[in-house]
Structure 1
């Protein structure tokens, strides 16, 4: 009962929880994120990549698993500042609808879409996933599932099932834990992510099974987020004085503890990231993973592609 109370993300309450973290000053996030403001686990092939390179590889890796083709309609659940949605439109010529519950993120995403001349191909809305209508060829959700809450897992995957076309593919990228179900650290829940929870796979897959969707692939990213957080912490340290000017010393100490403790949890604790690929049909994606590298290589640099 307490877990469900701590993860209260009913309609309305979910927006309040999101605002606590994601409606902080955009200038703060510019101090430690990459230039595209990717606020989720990057993808390191060898560990020598810059943060920008690893985040770019993450986006291409996800796009490859989605098997994007020109003209497809894509739903981005939890679209953040719009980076992934814009890149999908630019490099794969798809039409994207992005959903967010953050006023700050919505404003930035719409501004970026207008600046890139993509407003006819990418649109962002302040809308809860439960209120979305229509069907899509592809659905992607990166770094949003941690804000759903166990009481709403069935609704979440049922919604994905309803919104995904019969031959469609969905990809959920989220933080999880390697052990059995647990609870969010009280400090993290109070100061950083109210309503947030990183589930065990047993909790996730039980809800997927009830939705009728096929799990066509699961990939576990083990140390990738530890490296991502290391980069974020180091960048925050370099720009700490600017962060203090935006907020104060107390905030800086809180943010440092958040980034450092999370890195420790991913490097030495039970935390990991999973990518869950879903479909209605068992043959919606190739039968081996060979296509992932091949497909990723098809997406050319955004500046070279006319939408």
Structure 2
């Protein structure tokens, strides 16, 4: 029986999250992958029921990576990353825009204020929707940014064809069981000539699925971030084209020669922090910061202040951090493969 908490989380989903993975990261079995794909909603919800508050503690309300400039604070870099996507898409006042996999609404609120567009966020996690609405009300943006619960593999069923001027997704559609399905849904809900922008998580051309180290890095990202199956840039590009989009721009922003790498906050290297507040953010991923979090979660879970399974999900985040950093250092993985694509104006 599901134990539904007052905030929308389900105890059993959190506690059972790790059952979807073979614990031997070098020998992930096909049946585990197939099971994750078939049960992607349980994988996603189990992960975010347990990880959302940990994300907010360590990262704020925008759950994504970004590029970093010298002297630029962590929060400012996240906002600039969101602005860049909005600018590339040409978002402007009067447009109705869908945020696919909106999290707790950090990017939706930022993009709404940056562009004056009207944003609708879709999310299948009750806990995150509740928090998104609370933050949006506090920001005074309730008339401009709204949220609905829905399965992003069934967007047409929920919104109808041709219902949005633009759609974006920031590091969210990697959770889909397949890219053709989610991109096809996005194409259909766009008006003719509508634009789609995405920052996608992908394995790069350097990744070799037959290499045990490469395979273990992909597996670490999957188990630590609630992803059914990691796929490549080539597969992403092919899926966008296959459903009928016309690609206007594509680029792996992680390939830019930035002096500070996108993954630096996960390294726990405070020497790369750019502002005072960044030291606190980066410290949380240092050995001492992880030690404090590890034991604090143990205590909070033992006394019932966080749902059972939260500590275990927290441990998977450490697995993810290590895999993401290694994948970034070896350039096997990118969290910012940017695609700007357009629905043909006529068939």
TM-score of the superposition, structure 2-length normalised? 0.70
Contact 2:225 2:320 in 1 (8 A): no
Equivalent in 48, 56, 62 of residue 38 of structure 1: 62
Q: How does 1:104-119 map to 2 (within 5 A)?
A: 104-119=127-142
* Displacement of 1:47: 4.3
Whole-Å Cα distance in 1 between the matches of residues 180 and 313 of structure 2?
Answer: 36
Equivalent positions of 1:1-307 (< 5 A) are 2=30, 5-6=33-34, 8-10=36-38, 13-24=39-50, 26-34=52-60, 37-44=61-68, 46-132=69-155, 133-134=159-160, 135-149=163-177, 152-179=178-205, 182=209, 185-190=218-223, 192-222=224-254, 224-230=261-267, 234-237=283-286, 239-240=289-290, 241-247=292-298, 254-272=316-334, 273-281=336-344
Q: Secondary structure at the match of 2:193?
A: strand
CA 1:27–1:159: 2 relative to 1, 3 Å: closer
3-state DSSP of counterpart to 1:97:
strand
Tell me, what secondary structure is at the counterpart of 1:43? coil
Count of aligned residue pairs for this structure pair: 274
Instruction: Deviation per CA, 1:149-204: give whole Å up to 9, x if none.
Output: 3xx322222111111111211101111112268467445544x2344333212212
**Unaligned stretches of 5+ residues in structure 1:** 283-307
Q: Which protein shows a greater Rg?
A: 2
Distance in 1 separating the partners of 2:99 and 2:283? 30
Between 224-233 and 91-100, report the one with greater CA deviation.
224-233
Displacement of 1:69: 1.1
- The alignment partner of 1:24 has SS state of helix
For residues 260 and 97 of structure 1, the distance between their equivalents in structure 2, rounded to whole angstroms, comes to 34
For 1:226 and 1:202, locate their aligned partners in 2 and report how far apart those are by CA, in whole Å: 22
Preserved contact between residue 95 and residue 166 of structure 2 (Cα < 8 Å): yes
Q: Does the C-alpha gap of structure 1 residues 64 and 266 become closer, same or farther in structure 2, counting only changes over 3 Å?
A: same
Q: Is the 8 A contact 1:96 1:121 kept in 2?
A: yes
C-alpha separation in 2, matches of 1:8 and 1:250: 18
| Aligned mates of 2:36, 2:165 — CA distance in 1 | 30
* Separation (CA, whole Å) in 2 of partners of 1:18 and 1:119: 26
* Structure 2 CA distance for aligned equivalents of residues 178 and 113 of structure 1: 36
C-alpha displacement at 1:22, in angstroms? 1.2
3-state SS of 1:23 partner = helix
* CA positional deviation for 1:250: 6.9
- The structure-2 alpha-carbon separation of the partners of 1:31 and 1:71, relative to structure 1 and needing over 3 Å to count, comes to same
Match of 2:18?
A: none
Tell me, what secondary structure is at the counterpart of 1:104? helix
Instruction: Tell me how far apart the structure 2 counterparts of residues 251 and 211 of structure 1 sit (CA, whole Å).
Output: 35
Matched position secondary structure for 1:69: coil
Question: After superposition, what is the alpha-carbon deviation per residue over 1:194-228, rounded to whole angstroms, capped at 9, x for unaligned?
Answer: 44333212212222222111010012122643235
Deviation at 1:86, TM superposition (A): 1.1
